[in-house]
Amino acid sequence: MADVVREVMTPGVVAVPPDASLVEAAQLMRAQDIGDVLVASERQVLGVLTDRDITLRAVADGADPLVVSARMVCTPNPVVVAPDDTVATAVGLMREHAVRRLPVVEDGRLVGMVSLGDVAMAREPHSALAEISRADGHGRAAVGPPRASLADPPTGGW
């Protein structure tokens, strides 16, 4: 059984700079087949932007997604964990802050994401949550881990 975040996290992150438009962020999410990106600048995590954030905080209010920036809509100052933190600590933080995923930061550097699905696949591989987490979004089993590589933000790499 996995004891530390490093053993269950998805390595690599997908990030956009704070001034990226919501259209840019959404296009990146579509290309990577993911529902969230980190908003980051100079290796600092500024926020988490989800497809739901774009829909409810911008589109539903009639905001222009070509003009509105990722930083304006993201959930700021996300709770983060370290790769050597225990899985129990990560789950406790998710519960306490009512979030489903946490950025993983080591020595100030983004190194991955850990989600409830990651934990479920490691600890209860036959659970409904683990099965859903393995699906590719179309009801099919995924062929490999999502976010398996580090995507550079449009303005430069980490």
Identity at 48, one-letter amino acid code: V
pLDDT of residue 124: 65
Contact 64, 87 (CB under 8 A): no
Predicted TM-score (pTM) of this structure: 0.75
Identity at 94, one-letter amino acid code: M
C-alpha to C-alpha distance for 47 and 15, rounded to whole angstroms? 10
Query: How confident is the model over 47-91, as pLDDT tens digits?
Result: 999 999 999 999 999 999 999 999 999 999 999 999 999 999 999
C-alpha to C-alpha distance for 114 and 71, rounded to whole angstroms? 22
